[in-house]
Amino acid sequence: MPLYEFRCPDCGPFDLRCDMQDAADTAPCPSCTQPAQRRYSVGVGRPPAGALRDAGRADRARLDRARSGEPLVTGPPSGRRLPRAGGHRH
């Protein structure tokens, strides 16, 4: 269900979650029940949540590249190297 922003002349902005077919240009303010005008703005998407909430710009860019299908390999592997074993172990 989409989230719509309204602005009451007395109480200020508030958000209202409703179906698209039920969204109107006005809605009653939850505090004073006065008619509030719907605010139209450009959506920027969801705020980061979960594991990426505190991620940096580089981590978010890497995730965006992964979602777009762009290759993620940007250099040699990093991290701890595993010890070399002398021969195969099965």
- Residue type present at position 80: R
Query: Does residue 64 register a pLDDT over 70?
Result: yes
**Closest to 38 (Cα-Cα) out of 66, 55, 16, 67:** 16
* Tens digits of residue pLDDT in 19-30: 888 878 899 998
For 61-86, letters b (16+ CB in 10 Å) and e give eeeeeeeeeeeeeeeeeeeeeeeeee
Can you give the pTM of this predicted structure? Answer: 0.45
Q: What is the mean pLDDT of the chain?
A: 77
Show me where the domains of the chain are located: 3-39
